[in-house]
Amino acid sequence: MNACVRAITRTLISEEIEVVAIRRGYSGMIDRDFVDVDGQSVSNILQKGGTILKCARSKRFFTTVGRAKAADNLRDAGIDALIGIGGDGTLRGAHLMKKEHGTRIVCCPGTIDNDLFGTDETIGFDSALNTAIENIDRIRDTADAHDRLFLVEVMGADAGFIALNCAIGGGAEMVLIPEFESDVIHIKNRILSLMTAQSRSSIVVVAEGEGLGGAPAIAEALNTDDAFSHIDIRVCILGHTQRGGAPSARDRVLASRLGAGAVKALLDGFDDVMVGVENGDIKYTSLSEVSSRKKSINFELLKLAQMLS
Ligand code: F6P
């Protein structure tokens, strides 16, 4: 996100447009947590994880009173257009500001889950994926050394993009995602066939939003079945390790392109849209379309993951 903040700031400055940063997201908009920024303010942040602007989920913003206060603050501060960075909640909030207060707004997609329609990739996804794969490589050493079965849970409350891609990139023996209904019997049979005398270690990647309750629930189902008494099972939840750390090169480039693309969108008169990248090109999609459509998982990738395991 920092790479995106930097790109937005510097592109605006290059167009001689004044920039005000809003700290703590929509909460900061309600509390008037505004800071003037210049080109120097965003120096040395490109390579840093997290966001210098901080993030906050705001219950107040999801009330009409909260949004009216935010709109008043923007008007008072002379802010005539907004660029938001975030996931589904950020985009829905932005669209409401447009509808209720006419705020000019363009958003950049920022979520590790990669679950936004209108862009092939979201800011943070590639970095999270690389972190998850690096961890799977490390876990594999223990799995191999001790002949264990590891259930590795990755983020993705509603989407399996991280899980599916890191299963392929990390060579997992099995992957379970929310978009594809898991069946306990099938999982058990598959694991038993994997844990043979020749191959006694396995890694199963589980998206946190997978239908059976995630890695802990699956481990419980296996551990309470006598057929698995000879298998040493471990659960490893990668959790927030996936949301921190230095961004990957690919994410830095994507965030820089999207940030500059958001400024261009405003200058070209676009409004109420999200900037995305599809097939390598910048593309604008209306916020209402982004919020109402679901990005579908590539089932070819699921087949590939299964075939290669
Ligand atoms: O950004 C979405 C997400 O990464 C989900 O995959 C995950 O469930 C959630 O964030 C975790 O959010 P929090 O940090 O609030 O626990």
| Residue minimizing CA distance to atom 13 of ligand 1 | 240
Q: Report strand pairing: 148-154 vs 20-22.
A: unpaired
> Residue 273's pLDDT is what?
98
123 alpha carbon to ligand 1 midpoint, in Å?
14
Catalytic residue, from 31, 76, 88, 113: name it.
113
Can you tell me the mean pLDDT for 147-154? 97
Q: Of 265, 289, 248, 308, nearest to 127 (Cα)?
A: 248
* Three-state DSSP class for residue 84: strand
State the number of CA atoms in the 13 A half-sphere of 188 facing the CB. 16
pLDDT at 197 over 70: no
Pocket test for ligand 1, best of 51, 90, 112, 127 (most atoms within 8 A of CB): 112
Average pLDDT rounded to a whole number, residues 59-69: 97
What whole-number distance in Å separates Cα of residue 107 and Cα of residue 260? 11
Stretch 163-171: mean pLDDT: 97
Which atom of ligand 1 is the closest one to the Cα of 128? 4
CA atoms of 66 and 181, how far apart (whole Å): 39
Q: In angstroms, rounded to a whole number, what is the distance separating the alpha carbons of residues 192 and 14?
A: 61
Q: How far is the CA of 144 from the centre of ligand 1 (A)?
A: 30
Instruction: Looking at 121-212, list the stretches that DSSP marks H as alpha helix, in order from N- to C-terminal side.
Output: 125-146, 161-169, 184-194
pLDDT of residue 200: 81
Predicted pLDDT of residue 195: 86
**Residues facing residue 109 across a β-bridge:** 86
Taking residues 137-155, what's their average pLDDT?
96
Write down the mean pLDDT value for the chain: 96
The reported pLDDT for the residue numbered 190 is: 93
pLDDT in tens, 238-247: 999 999 999 9
* Cβ of 156 less than 6 Å from ligand 1: yes
Task: Examine the residue annotation and report whether 113 is marked as an active-site residue of this protein.
Answer: yes
pLDDT tens digits, residue range 175-185? 999 999 999 99
User: In this model, does residue 309 exceed pLDDT 80?
Assistant: yes
% pLDDT > 90, the chain: 96
Q: What is the pLDDT of residue 196?
A: 78
Q: Is the predicted pLDDT of residue 201 greater than 90, yes or no?
A: no
Q: Which amino acid is at 1?
A: M
Instruction: Take atom 15 of ligand 1 and give the residue whose Cα is closest.
Output: 57
